[in-house]
Chains A and B, each alone.
Chain A
Amino acid sequence: MSLVALDGLTKRYPGGVTALDGLTLTIEPGIVGLVGANGAGKSTLIKILLGLLEPTSGSASVLDLDVATQGLAIRQLVGYMPEHDCLPNDISASDFVNHMARMSGLPRASARERTAEVLRHVGLFEERYRPMGGYSTGMKQRVKLAQALVHDPRLLLLDEPTNGLDPAGRDEMLDLVERTGTEFGIAIIMASHLLGEIERVGQYLVAIDAGRLLRAAELHTFTQHTGTLIVEVDERPTALAEHLEGAGLHTGVDGSHVLVELRGDETHDQVVDAVVELGLALIRVEPRRSSLEDLFRDTAAPDAESEEESDEEAAA
Chain B
Amino acid sequence: MDRRPSEGRGGSIYDLGYRGYEGPRLGRRAAIWALLAHSVRTAYGIGRNARSKVMPVGLAVLAVLPSMLALGILMLVTTLNAPAEVVEAFSPVAYSTIFPFIAILVFLFCASQAPELFGRDQQMGVLPLYFSRAIGRLDYAAARFLGLFASLLVLVLVPYLLLLVGRVLVAPDLFEGLAEELPSAPAALAVALMTAAVVGTLSSAVASLTPRRSYATVAIIAVFLVPNIVASSLVALETGLVGQIAAVLSPPDVLDGVNAYLFDARPDNITVLRAGIDGWVYVVAAFAWIAGSLAVLARRYRSMVV
Give the interface of A toward B (CB within 8 A): 47, 50-52, 71-72, 75-76, 78, 80, 82, 84-91, 95, 99-100, 102-107, 110, 114, 117, 121, 131, 147, 151-152, 180, 183-185
Contact = CB atoms under 8 A, between A and B. Distances in A.
B19 A106 contact: no
B124 interface: yes
A184 B18 contact: yes
B236 interface: no
A114 to B, nearest CB: 6
A263 B26 CA distance: 59
B306 interface: yes
Q: Chain B interface: which size bin? A: 35 or more
B42 to A, nearest CB: 10
25 contacts: A50-B132, A52-B306, A75-B133, A76-B27, A80-B132, A82-B125, A84-B125, A85-B125, A86-B126, A87-B124, A88-B126, A91-B48, A95-B47, A99-B34, A103-B35, A104-B31, A105-B28, A105-B31, A107-B30, A110-B21, A110-B24, A151-B133, A180-B18, A183-B18, A184-B18
Given A105-B134, A106-B23, A72 B28 contact: yes
B150 to A, nearest CB: 17
B129 A147 contact: yes
Nearest to B21: A152
B300 interface: no
Given A100-B129, A103-B133, A89 B21 contact: no
A224 to B, nearest CB: 32
Nearest to B121: A88
Interface string B22-61: 0111111011001100100000000111001000000000
Residue picked from A85, A88, A103, most chain B C-beta under 10 Å:
A103
A63 to B, nearest CB: 14
A99 B121 CA distance: 13
B240 interface: no
Given A105-B31, A184-B1, A86 B129 contact: yes
Residue picked from A86, A87, A105, A152, most chain B C-beta under 10 Å:
A105
